């Protein structure tokens, strides 16, 4: 991508994210208005930041090609898509290094490119909202037909979601099944954890299915140890109540009584030592903890989200109802939860063997 990397940057000012371009400030006027619009709509700061980085890449491309953001055409957006596909990521292996699928590892992943394209498409939808006579350069595809089973019928059929046109400005991405840890990997990873805090964090992911951001968002008052319930603050500002395992409740209680330092912070998990002792544990701090214990235990796949996948897989193998799984995992759509059904080899094999037995009995 032919850009000046230093021409456009992203910064946070007064809890808001904005793009900066000293040499062409008019280039970032529309992107900044769009980021302000997202903040006014109460999008999470993390989402606004992600969209901001996508718009940084787009504005850097526009800066390098001499384009005006408000005068971009569909052909220009397709050129930006091609530039994203050809961009070389610094610090990765050269063109001779490929993954198992034969793709170069020094290029952006399709999901990363789609994040940029989603930010750009949202910005032009925002411009079209401000001026209905304006024609958006984002090419539209066929309407989406993403419906859950039973959503089109019944007494509440009138409440079904209307299919929205999907943008053709996106890459096809492989849909991989979530990777769960094996029992031996789980035991090895948990055995490497020494502090009660780290055991409680891993337990909340493994036995309650919490995301890492949900673990860090927990306050002390969100944990009902006696009643064994958790109030989880999920993605998109959606709260849910999750039952708390008895042994995990005891581990959290032991952490609160013996390890958690005296602090004014309301966060459940705080830094245990060092200059930031008593301050809320950060995402970077959580990643450091798991990175250290992955190396110590030899479980390379032991990332925080793998523990959540292990929880979902265990529910599927136990035959838990899909709607209950969706509620526990906090998924917005049941299709996301259904992926875990494909990870229940015990039940799949049992059903397959039973069907084959019936076939043999019928044919004999």
Exactly one of 34, 63, 124, 340 is catalytic; name it: 340
pLDDT digits over 58-105, tens only?
Answer: 999 999 999 999 999 999 999 999 999 988 887 776 666 666 556 677
Q: Averaged over 319-326, what is the pLDDT?
A: 87
pLDDT at position 334 is 81
Question: 162 lies in a domain?
Answer: no
Please say if the pLDDT value at position 156 is more than 50.
no
pLDDT digits over 101-140, tens only?
Answer: 566 777 888 889 999 999 999 999 999 999 999 888 988 7
Instruction: Give the DSSP letter of residue 16.
Output: E
Looking at the structure, tell me whether residues 131 and 14 fall in a common domain.
yes
Establish whether 342 is a catalytic residue: no
pLDDT at position 46 is 86
Rounded to whole angstroms, the Cα distance separating 228 from 278 reads 25
Q: Among residues 89, 69, 66, 90, which one has the least CA distance to residue 19?
A: 69
pLDDT at position 180 is 87
Establish whether 347 is a catalytic residue: no
Please say if the pLDDT value at position 344 is more than 70.
no
Pair 248, 207: CB distance under 8 Å = yes
In this prediction, residue 255 has a pLDDT band, given cuts at 50, 70 and 90, of very high
Looking at the structure, tell me whether residues 63 and 188 fall in a common domain.
no
pLDDT digits over 8-37, tens only?
Answer: 999 998 889 999 999 999 999 999 999 999
Question: 295 lies in a domain?
Answer: yes
Looking at the structure, tell me whether residues 325 and 189 fall in a common domain.
yes
Q: Looking at the whole model, is its pTM more than 0.95?
A: no
Please say if the pLDDT value at position 173 is more than 90.
no
Chain-centre distance of CA 58, in angstroms?
22
Question: 332 lies in a domain?
Answer: yes
Question: 157 lies in a domain?
Answer: no
Please say if the pLDDT value at position 271 is more than 60.
yes
Exactly one of 211, 260, 293, 309 is catalytic; name it: 211
Pair 60, 3: CB distance under 8 Å = yes
pLDDT at position 298 is 94
Q: Among residues 306, 328, 304, which one has the least CA distance to residue 212?
A: 304
Looking at the structure, tell me whether residues 33 and 121 fall in a common domain.
yes
275: domain CATH number?
1.10.443.10
What's the mean per-residue pLDDT of the chain? 85
pLDDT at position 167 is 67
Establish whether 172 is a catalytic residue: no
Question: 146 lies in a domain?
Answer: no
Looking at the structure, tell me whether residues 79 and 206 fall in a common domain.
no
* Number of separate domains in the chain: 2
Looking at the structure, tell me whether residues 82 and 190 fall in a common domain.
no
Q: Among residues 39, 30, 34, which one has the least CA distance to residue 62?
A: 30
pLDDT at position 153 is 47
Establish whether 293 is a catalytic residue: no
Please say if the pLDDT value at position 349 is more than 80.
no
Looking at the structure, tell me whether residues 132 and 241 fall in a common domain.
no
Structure tokens at 85: 């596909």
- Ramachandran bin of 228, using left for φ above 0, alpha for ψ from -120 to 50, beta for the remaining angles: left
For residue 190, count other CB atoms closer than 10 A to its CB: 19
The single residue listed with the structure tokens 């959540």 is: 308
Share of the chain above pLDDT 90, in %: 58
Establish whether 152 is a catalytic residue: no
pLDDT at position 341 is 73
Question: 247 lies in a domain?
Answer: yes
59: domain CATH number?
1.10.150.130
Question: 302 lies in a domain?
Answer: yes
Exactly one of 161, 194, 305, 342 is catalytic; name it: 305
Range of the domain at 242: 183-346
pLDDT at position 247 is 93
Rounded to whole angstroms, the Cα distance separating 226 from 265 reads 22
Q: Averaged over 318-347, what is the pLDDT?
A: 80
pLDDT at position 94 is 67
Establish whether 305 is a catalytic residue: yes
CA angle 299, 302, 306 (to 5 degrees): 145
Exactly one of 170, 235, 294, 339 is catalytic; name it: 235
Instruction: Please indicate whether residue 175 or residue 73 has the higher confidence score (pLDDT).
Output: 73
Pair 124, 102: CB distance under 8 Å = no
Looking at the structure, tell me whether residues 136 and 5 fall in a common domain.
yes
Looking at the structure, tell me whether residues 187 and 326 fall in a common domain.
yes
CA angle 183, 187, 188 (to 5 degrees): 115
């Amino acid at each position: 991508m032919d850009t000046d990397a230093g021409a456009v940057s992203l910064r946070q000012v007064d809890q808001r994210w904005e793009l900066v371009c000293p040499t062409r400030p008019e280039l970032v006027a529309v992107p900044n208005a769009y980021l302000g619009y997202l903040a006014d709509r109460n999008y999470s700061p993390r989402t606004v930041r992600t969209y901001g980085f996508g718009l940084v890449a787009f504005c850097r491309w526009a800066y390098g090609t001499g384009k005006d953001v408000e005068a971009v055409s569909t052909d220009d957006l397709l050129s930006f898509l091609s530039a994203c596909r050809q961009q070389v990521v610094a610090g990765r292996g050269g063109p001779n290094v490929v993954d198992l699928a034969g793709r170069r590892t020094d290029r952006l992943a399709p999901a990363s490119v789609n994040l940029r394209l989603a930010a750009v498409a949202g910005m032009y939808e925002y411009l079209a909202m401000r001026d209905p006579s304006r024609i958006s350069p984002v090419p539209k595809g066929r309407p989406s037909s993403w419906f859950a089973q039973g959503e089109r019928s019944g007494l509440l059929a009138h409440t079904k979601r209307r299919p929205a046109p999907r943008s053709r400005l996106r890459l096809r991405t492989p849909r991989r099944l979530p990777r769960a840890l094996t029992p031996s990997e789980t035991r090895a990873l948990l055995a490497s954890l020494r502090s009660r805090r780290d055991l409680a964090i891993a337990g909340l992911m493994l036995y309650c299915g919490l995301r890492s951001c949900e673990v860090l968002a927990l306050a002390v008052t969100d944990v009902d140890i006696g009643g064994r319930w958790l109030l989880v603050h999920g993605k998109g500002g959606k709260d849910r109540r999750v039952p708390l395992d008895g042994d995990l409740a005891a581990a959290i209680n032991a952490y609160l009584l013996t390890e958690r330092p005296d602090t004014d912070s309301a966060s459940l998990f705080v830094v245990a030592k060092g200059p930031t002792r008593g301050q809320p544990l950060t995402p970077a701090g959580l990643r450091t903890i798991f990175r250290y214990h992955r190396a110590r235990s030899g479980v390379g796949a032991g990332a925080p989200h793998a523990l959540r996948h292990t929880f979902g897989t265990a529910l599927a193998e136990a035959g838990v109802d899909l709607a209950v799984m969706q509620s526990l995992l906090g998924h917005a759509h049941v299709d996301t939860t259904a992926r875990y059904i494909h990870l229940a080899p015990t039940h799949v094999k049992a059903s397959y063997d039973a069907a084959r037995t019936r076939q043999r009995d019928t044919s004999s």
